[in-house]
């Protein structure tokens, strides 16, 4: 096994909330001047982890502060040479996008890029394929590894079969919050969220999963504690068109294509998120997200060759959110927030116009992912272990002071104790599709 840890990190000039509905709005963007950025804490926690071969940092920042963000991330990575960090910023992304255009010239749009949650995840998968890593372990920059066995637990079971001969090609763990709880805090649910009941439904599912066997079929994905085997990520892409929730959406994408996500109740991280700047902005993203999910799944369920996704198989969560009832929930929640509470005018705008605009947009975009997905397996096969491209992005994305060190022989071991060459890459690799 040759795992790579992939960490998307989002940066901004300051902590000013983005305008509601603004393109490129992310839940937690780190201000450039923040004294102790989340990424720094995350990488510090990985220093204790056994078997780390490479950490890929996906650097997302607006053009206005891209250079400053790069400087901050470079500085953070230089403090952790043992993690073999590789930064994928705008210049590395451009090289990769040009290569994709060569192997898949008819694929249009920002499907693999550093903009948009799903497209950013796809960038991580493409980088892993180019470098020949057969396992991708996603973390978020506002999470920390709990102990030295983080990577050992991540690869546990991957590539094997269950007792029912089902492949384990995708596996999720979960996170503990600051209070050492893996459950959503239902005390935060206000009266105006009575129809936005994700917390209670999620907790009902989580309670069952925690009491089950170590590995069980999952209805949930923690994007910051998520491991993918090459059989999954070389065949199924993240959806670049979804506004947020691309991790759970990936579960739907896998099921459409005959695969499942499995839950490991002994693999976890700690989640230390900063305060969300605007709850109304997140709610608007959720309006588009769930409206789109409903339309997309409805289209997929009528496609020959794709496995049907039913609400019965996703009880108690997230079944209600991919059914027609989600439109009623959006209507009532936006109305109640418009009557009382902070950001009333923003919620009123959602109730008055945005929810209708979201349905129109979702219907128009409902087939976009299915079209994009047809290109993905061939593109990943063409890019797998592309040595010239790998050398280009490694040379560009490695902090300069560390480049000489990378040429020196090292006795690195992977999570299972298998030897690797000095660059942290496996020798004699083959494409998972060969």
How far, in Å, CA of 289 to CA of 173, rounded?
23
Token readout for 92 is 């590395």
Q: What is the pLDDT of residue 401?
A: 64
Cβ-based neighbour number of residue 196 at 10 Å: 19
Which residues does 390 contact at the CB level (< 8 Å), separation at least 6?
Answer: 130, 131, 132
Which residues does 397 contact at the CB level (< 8 Å), separation at least 6?
Answer: 86, 87, 88, 89, 92
> By the 8 A CB rule, do 293 and 256 touch?
no
What's 318's DSSP letter?
T
How far, in Å, CA of 275 to CA of 105, rounded?
41
Does the predicted model carry a pTM greater than 0.85?
Answer: yes
Query: What CATH number does the domain located at 3-277+373-399 have?
Result: 3.90.550.10
Domain locations in the chain? 3-277+373-399
Distances in Å between the Cα of 61 and the Cα atoms of 25, 114, 127, 236 are 11, 8, 18, 26
Q: What is the pLDDT of residue 17?
A: 54
Helices and strands, number each (H, E), in the chain: 16, 10
Query: Phi first, then psi: what are they for 161, rounded to 5°?
Result: -115, 150
Q: What is the pLDDT of residue 16?
A: 65
Q: What is the pLDDT of residue 400?
A: 73
Per-residue pLDDT of the chain (434 residues; tens, 9 = 90+): 899 999 999 999 876 655 544 445 677 789 999 999 999 999 999 999 999 999 999 999 999 999 999 999 999 999 999 999 999 999 999 999 999 999 999 998 899 999 999 999 999 999 999 999 999 999 999 999 999 999 999 999 999 999 889 999 999 999 999 999 999 998 877 888 989 988 899 999 999 999 999 999 999 999 999 999 999 999 999 999 999 999 999 999 999 999 999 999 999 999 998 877 778 888 999 999 999 999 999 999 999 999 999 999 999 999 999 999 999 999 999 999 999 888 999 999 999 999 999 999 999 999 999 999 999 999 999 999 999 999 999 999 998 766 555 544 444 444 544 443 333 333 333 444 44
Report the DSSP beta bridge partners of residue 144.
270
Q: What is the DSSP string of 191-245?
A: GGGTT--HHHHHHHHHHHHHTS-SEEE-S---TTSEEEEHHHHTT----TT-SS-
How far, in Å, CA of 281 to CA of 25, rounded?
8
How many Cα neighbours within 13 Å face the side chain of 216? Answer: 14
Q: Which of 160, 169, 124 is nearest to 4 (CA)?
A: 124
Taking the chain, what is the end-to-end CA distance rounded to the nearest angstrom? 16
How far, in Å, CA of 82 to CA of 425, rounded?
14
3-class SS string, 120-189: HHHHHHHHHHHHCCCEEEECCCCEEECCCCHHHHHHCCCCCECCCCCECCEEEEEEECCCCCCCCCHHHC
How far, in Å, CA of 121 to CA of 125, rounded?
7
How far, in Å, CA of 427 to CA of 414, rounded?
12
């Amino acid at each position: 096994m040759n795992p790579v840890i992939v960490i998307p990190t989002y940066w901004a000039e300051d902590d000013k909330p983005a305008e509601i509905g603004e393109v490129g709005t992310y839940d937690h963007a780190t201000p450039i001047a923040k004294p102790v950025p989340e990424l720094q804490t995350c990488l510090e926690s990985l220093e204790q982890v056994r078997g780390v071969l490479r950490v890929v940092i996906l650097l997302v920042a607006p053009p206005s502060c891209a250079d400053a963000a790069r400087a901050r991330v470079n500085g953070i990575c230089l403090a952790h040479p043992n993690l073999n960090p590789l930064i994928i910023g705008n210049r590395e992304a451009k090289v990769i996008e040009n290569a994709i255009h060569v192997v898949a010239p008819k694929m249009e749009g920002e499907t693999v890029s550093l903009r948009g949650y799903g497209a950013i995840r796809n960038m991580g998968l493409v980088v892993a394929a180019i470098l020949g890593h057969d396992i991708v372990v996603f973390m978020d920059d506002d999470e920390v590894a709990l102990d030295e066995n983080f990577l050992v637990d991540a690869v546990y079971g991957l590539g094997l079969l269950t007792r029912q001969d089902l492949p384990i090609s995708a596996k999720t763990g979960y996170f503990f919050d600051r209070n050492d709880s893996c459950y959503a805090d239902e005390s935060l649910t206000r009266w105006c969220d009575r129809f936005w009941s994700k917390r209670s439904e999620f907790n009902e599912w989580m309670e069952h999963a925690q009491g089950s066997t170590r590995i069980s079929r999952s209805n949930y994905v923690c994007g910051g504690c998520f491991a993918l085997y090459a059989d999954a990520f070389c065949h199924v892409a993240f959806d670049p068109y979804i506004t947020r929730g691309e991790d759970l959406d990936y579960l739907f994408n896998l099921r459409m294509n005959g695969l499942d996500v499995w839950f490991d109740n002994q693999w976890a991280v700690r989640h230390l998120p900063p305060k969300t700047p605007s709850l109304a902005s997140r709610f608007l993203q959720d309006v588009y997200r769930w409206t789109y999910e409903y339309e997309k799944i409805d289209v997929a369920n009528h496609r020959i060759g794709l496995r049907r996704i039913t609400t019965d198989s996703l009880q108690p969560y997230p079944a209600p959110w991919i059914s027609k009832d989600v439109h009623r929930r959006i209507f009532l929640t936006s109305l109640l927030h418009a009557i009382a509470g902070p950001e009333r005018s923003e919620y009123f705008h959602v109730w008055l116009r945005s929810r209708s605009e979201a349905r129109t947009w979702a219907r128009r975009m409902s087939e976009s992912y299915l079209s994009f997905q047809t290109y993905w397996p061939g593109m990943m096969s063409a890019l797998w272990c592309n040595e010239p491209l790998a050398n280009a992005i490694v040379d560009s994305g490695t902090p300069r002071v560390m480049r000489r060190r990378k040429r020196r022989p090292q006795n690195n071991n992977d999570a299972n104790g298998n030897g690797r060459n000095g660059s942290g890459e496996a020798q004699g690799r083959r494409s998972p599709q060969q």
